[in-house]
Structure 1
Amino acid sequence: MSKIDFLKEQIIESRDFVNRLVSELPESLWYTIPQGTDSNFAWQIGHLIISQNFHAITCITGRNEEVYKLIPLIDYVKIFNGMGTLHRSVEENLIPTAELKKQLDAVHEICIRNLSLLDDPILSENLEPIPFKHPVANNKHEALSWCFKHEMWHSAEMEAIKRALGHPVKWM
């Protein structure tokens, strides 16, 4: 298996985990911030939308116009970034949950389609130009590796939110 295929597989598996969590929490609870947490499910989903776009698309192949047509990324970065802020929730019904789900799926589909066109030599290349230093990656391999690790980190937070809202862990 090539390195790019391995990374793509890890990104798919981490999204499968997130999709399981999404299917287990009623949409009516997505904007609830449970006691003992500092976030809600809607913020977590929005954050994964912008982070997958950043780590696995923008840093790898540059700005993707298809993503910008589907998602108001400039607005979303202001709402869902999370870097340097403790504000990790969004107000109820800011964005309909169905819209967030659709956008989460769309970014993932674009990501996987783009990665399917790449070969291993691209992994050692520097990141595409971005307006600031990447928080953890210096090359494309590191950005893709961080993408799935970061998504699994947030899936753990989503699991904690789900559990705090009275929906226990389900394994399969």
Structure 2
Amino acid sequence: MKRIDFLREQIIESRNFVNRLISEIPQDLWYTIPQNTDSNFAWQVGHLMISQNFHAITCITGRNTKVAELIPIVDYVKIFNGMGTLHRSVEKNLIPAYELKDQFDAIHEICIDNLSQLNDDILFEQLEPIPFKHPVANNKYEALSWCFKHEMWHSAEMEELKRMLGYPIKWL
């Protein structure tokens, strides 16, 4: 198996895991911030969408016009960026949960399609130009590897949010 295929499969598997979590909580609870937490499902979903676009699309092949047509990237980065932010939740009904989920799925589809067209030759190239130093990656392999690790990190947070909203942990 080529490395790029392995990385793509890991991104798919981590998203499958997150989608299972998402399916276990009603969308009308996405904007609820459980007591003693600082986040909600809507922010987590938006953050993972923006992060996947950054780590697995923008840093790998540059800005994607399909993504730009689908979501207001600059606005969403302001809302869902995680680097150094103190605010990890979003206001109720800022973006309808069903719309956020549709965008989340569409960005993932663009990501997987984009990665399907690449080969291992690109993995140890420098990242595409970005306006700041990448927080963890120095090359494209590291950015793709971080993408699925980061998603799994947030799945743990989402599992805890789900539990605190009264939905028990389920293991497959």
TM bucket (normalised to shorter chain) is: over 0.9
1:91-112: CA deviations, max 9, x gaps? Answer: 1000000111001101100000
Q: CA deviation at 1:82?
A: 1.9
What are structure 1's unaligned runs of at least 5 residues?
none
Q: CA deviation at 1:83?
A: 1.2
CA distance in 2 between counterparts of 1:81 and 1:18 reads: 18
Alignment of 1:136-155 (within 5 A): 136-155=136-155
CA distance in 1 between counterparts of 2:13 and 2:71 reads: 23
Matched with 2:119 is: 119
Return the letter of the residue paired with 1:31: Y
Count of residue pairs the alignment pairs up? 172
- The structure 1 segments of at least 4 consecutive aligned residues displaced by more than 3 Å after TM superposition are none
What is the alpha-carbon root mean square deviation over aligned residues? 0.6
SS, match of residue 127 in structure 2: coil
SS, match of residue 123 in structure 2: helix
1:90-137: CA deviations, max 9, x gaps? Answer: 010000001110011011000000110001010010000000000000
Matched with 1:54 is: 54
CA distance in 2 between counterparts of 1:54 and 1:114 reads: 13
SS, match of residue 124 in structure 1: coil
CA distance in 2 between counterparts of 1:136 and 1:82 reads: 14
Q: CA deviation at 1:36?
A: 2.0
Matched with 1:75 is: 75
SS, match of residue 84 in structure 2: coil
Alignment of 1:20-99 (within 5 A): 20-99=20-99
SS, match of residue 31 in structure 1: coil
Matched with 2:160 is: 160
What are structure 2's unaligned runs of at least 5 residues?
none
